[in-house]
Structure 1
Amino acid sequence: MNNVAIIVASGTGTRTGLDIPKQYNNFLSLPLFVHSFKFFYTSNLFSHIIVVANPEWHDFIREQLVNYNNYTIIIGGKTRSQSVYNGLEAAKILSPDNVYIHDAARPFIDSDVINSMQDAISNGADGAIPYVEIADALWQIDDDNQLLSPVNKTKRIRAQTPQAFKYNKLLAAYSSCDFKSALDDAQIATQNGMIIKAIKGTSFSDKLTYKEDFKRMERTLSPKILPRTGIGFDVHRFCDGDFVTLCGVKIPHTMGLEGHSDADVAWHALTDALLGAMALGDIGKVFPPSDNKWKGAASSIFLEFAKDEVKKHGAEIANVDITIICEAPKVGKYREALQKSTAAVLGIPIDRVGIKATTTERLGFTGRSEGIAAQAIASVVQYI
């Protein structure tokens, strides 16, 4: 089915006491909203993602999503319900079967819960929402915080997001009622006769509302972060030419580098490091030199492939470090250019890219100026 996700990210988040809306605050090294975006993007269940946000944050969102496609940013409303309605209207052009509406302040989504919600809709329900049971005692209090009476918690649940609905029915429900004061989308749906199934969720999908929620969730989820490291090494011999290509930058030299592709020894080593971090083999396995398709190819193709593989496996590149080993050419004055080009391909800040150069004190093949070697290390963070 054609599923579209709507991420509601237009709130002010004033209860957190942060300087910026909470959905854009860093959480586990990424802006909060990016975590749920990544889930929808990599799950293979969604054809498109709509991010609903206030206009002043649109540029920031684009910067964070520069390496992604199949998404749209639209303007939010003064209330959550108005923002959702804007998202539903924007989805018309996509003709979705179902729409999943999610609060940007909930960074983690459980794939089993999503599959159960999808099954519920496929089996006749008009929608489905995840929930958690209420474990604590419930009390009603007065304006002075005095206890009044206990509240029976039997058959009461805490609703979470994403909430999933048949698109046409939810759009019709929104279009036929005054939705401004609704608690959530399920309220609008049920008030308009839609049959909504409750699916047991998980506390990992709780909403981050207050500043202490960020710290609590970070402590809870830290064991689920898997750091991974890969090492790459490559060598290319010199040949006739007047430049060498290192990190995509052509550096003048009295010789060139011999290779099936553009012989970018630095990016070849880095590609191997990234593939190694994810246990995906090496560059020769994916791009065999026996295949003429890659003859003269730009090594950015290889590096972009490795970057995409990291992302497909639910991981993010933390930092990379490359050491170029040669007597000449002298790499030092090109260091910033090499950093910038590498950062641009990987889609990470330049301060996460290390570039170093060294010699072997005229020892070995590099010392005899027979070629250039490079070694690279890549650190990635995988959420499991």
Structure 2
Amino acid sequence: MVLDNVSLIMMAAGDSTRFCASNAQNFRCKKQWLRVGEEPLWLVATHNLTRHFSFKQVILTASSQDCGYMQNISPYKVVQGGQTRCQSLRNALKYIDTPLVLVSDVARWDSSDSVIKAMLATLDENVACVVPFVGVADTSFYEGEYLKRENIKLIQTPQLSRVEDLREALKDTNKDFSDESSALYAFGKKIAFVQGSTLMNKLTFDSDLKAHITRLSPPSKKIFVGNGIDVHQFEEGKQMWLGGVQIESAFGFKAHSDGDVALHALSDAILGAIGGGDIGEWFPDIDETYKNADSKMMLDNIYTFAQSVGYELYNADISIIAQTPKIAPYKNAMRECIAHILRVPNSRINIKATTTERLGFIGRKEGICVEVCVSMGFADWHTPIQNLC
């Protein structure tokens, strides 16, 4: 169905605080990044709408951290969201040039085309917004009174709105609203309702996955390999950190940060596996914020991001090439430190040390080179839930 006068905005800028808080500590994937096969849920949700409707524009919102990474994957335009849903929507509306906009949350990934057709048919010149709803089956009690459940509507998305009315309703940046209909209602505009669908129930907590699992394929079992390499020369009078461990040495590494060449190479390997760029993009050496920065913090930030977009580490193989200092006495401590940062068993981290037999800059004791190879895959959210069903 061609909709030349309608644009689509998909809201995916949230941080999934409630979803992640209800999961096990080592599962940190945001709900919009749950992998269905190889696709993240935000892309599945968008495809479910664009498969049935041809919108003039399709825009997704993403957090500041996710925005660039999402755009690398997305066939649609991605804009940076804000701290709230309202702020994200304001940002997205700047790019809309159609009179109507359909706004949906990727957490309601299975939108019904029949519901959307009913919304389009219901919109008339007196209505600013059409919303789907589902009723309440149970007796409802609120602030000391029983409510007539037939009068209660649980509002869903997508919601179809008139763009100019919506822009005006959201103009006051000091006001916040949970959705488009509440903003337009507060602005004095007429809201129309259509019967929604339980298929569009929102995914909020990990327990909600039980209701969705039969309609969502498990994540792909593909393995992604990343390589990282880094070199730093020695600097007299600086403390040496290597593999997250303090090394007894008269010199450290010449670097903007603490110069932990092993953690830098490991960080690059993780970014390589997920297609996330390189450590220099994340922590530029021209930014004084990262002057003498702790490389353990840098690695933790990068791996936390990798987990948030749906990946987990299978193993890391780290090769330290150094003529000096002696690495063997520190290997176990390095392995324990790195495993702790990456929240994996020690057995997944391997550290090898070798020399260049006194050849080259390493052999002349001018610096160290570290090479790292990691294997990663999509976090398996499907199997634990399936076992509970």
Runs of 4 or more off by more than 6 Å in structure 1? none
Asked if 1:83 is matched to 2:79, the reply is no
Residue segments in structure 1 that go unaligned for 5+ positions in a row:
142-147, 226-350, 352-384
CA offsets 1:151-205 (integer angstroms, 9 cap, x no match):
332311100001111111111121157432x121101101112211101010000
Asked if 1:171 is matched to 2:167, the reply is yes
Equivalent position amino acid for 2:180 in 1: D
**Alignment match of 2:67 (pick from 41, 50, 58):** 58
Shift of 1:123: 5.9
**1:371 aligned residue:** none
SS at match of 1:19: coil
**1:354 aligned residue:** none
Asked if 1:37 is matched to 2:37, the reply is no
Asked if 1:156 is matched to 2:152, the reply is yes
Shift of 1:64: 3.4
Give runs of aligned pairs for residues 125-144 of structure 1, distance below 5 A.
125-140=127-142
SS at match of 1:33: helix
| Greater RCO structure (CA 8 Å; 6+ sep) | 2
Supply the distance in 2 between the matched residues of 1:202 and 1:168 (Cα, whole angstroms). Answer: 28
Percent identical residues: 23
Equivalent position amino acid for 1:88 in 2: L
CA contact 2:11–2:104 (8 Å) conserved in 1: yes
CA pair 28-130 structure 1, distance change in 2 beyond 3 A: farther
**Alignment match of 1:13 (pick from 13, 16, 21):** 16
**Alignment match of 2:201 (pick from 206, 210, 230):** 206
Supply the distance in 2 between the matched residues of 1:41 and 1:26 (Cα, whole angstroms). Answer: 19
Supply the distance in 2 between the matched residues of 1:119 and 1:177 (Cα, whole angstroms). Answer: 32
CA contact 2:5–2:99 (8 Å) conserved in 1: yes
SS at match of 1:74: strand
**1:46 aligned residue:** 55
Shift of 1:210: 0.5
Asked if 1:3 is matched to 2:6, the reply is yes
CA contact 2:8–2:59 (8 Å) conserved in 1: yes
**Alignment match of 1:73 (pick from 68, 71, 78):** 78
Equivalent position amino acid for 1:43 in 2: H
**2:114 aligned residue:** 112
**1:193 aligned residue:** 188
Supply the distance in 1 between the matched residues of 2:88 and 2:72 (Cα, whole angstroms). Answer: 22
CA pair 177-53 structure 1, distance change in 2 beyond 3 A: closer
**2:33 aligned residue:** 24
**1:255 aligned residue:** none
CA pair 149-53 structure 1, distance change in 2 beyond 3 A: same
Supply the distance in 2 between the matched residues of 1:176 and 1:212 (Cα, whole angstroms). Answer: 36
CA pair 209-11 structure 1, distance change in 2 beyond 3 A: same
CA contact 1:5–1:48 (8 Å) conserved in 2: yes
Shift of 1:216: 1.9
Shift of 1:51: 0.6
Give runs of aligned pairs for residues 213-232 of structure 1, distance below 5 A.
213-219=208-214, 221=215
CA contact 2:12–2:105 (8 Å) conserved in 1: yes
CA pair 199-29 structure 1, distance change in 2 beyond 3 A: farther
Supply the distance in 2 between the matched residues of 1:26 and 1:140 (Cα, whole angstroms). Answer: 38
CA contact 1:82–1:179 (8 Å) conserved in 2: no
SS at match of 1:193: coil
Supply the distance in 2 between the matched residues of 1:123 and 1:112 (Cα, whole angstroms). Answer: 22
Supply the distance in 2 between the matched residues of 1:203 and 1:28 (Cα, whole angstroms). Answer: 23
Supply the distance in 1 between the matched residues of 2:148 and 2:37 (Cα, whole angstroms). Answer: 37
CA pair 201-28 structure 1, distance change in 2 beyond 3 A: farther
Residue segments in structure 2 that go unaligned for 5+ positions in a row:
21-26, 219-376, 378-389
| CA RMSD between the two structures | 2.5
CA contact 1:40–1:49 (8 Å) conserved in 2: no
Shift of 1:22: 1.2
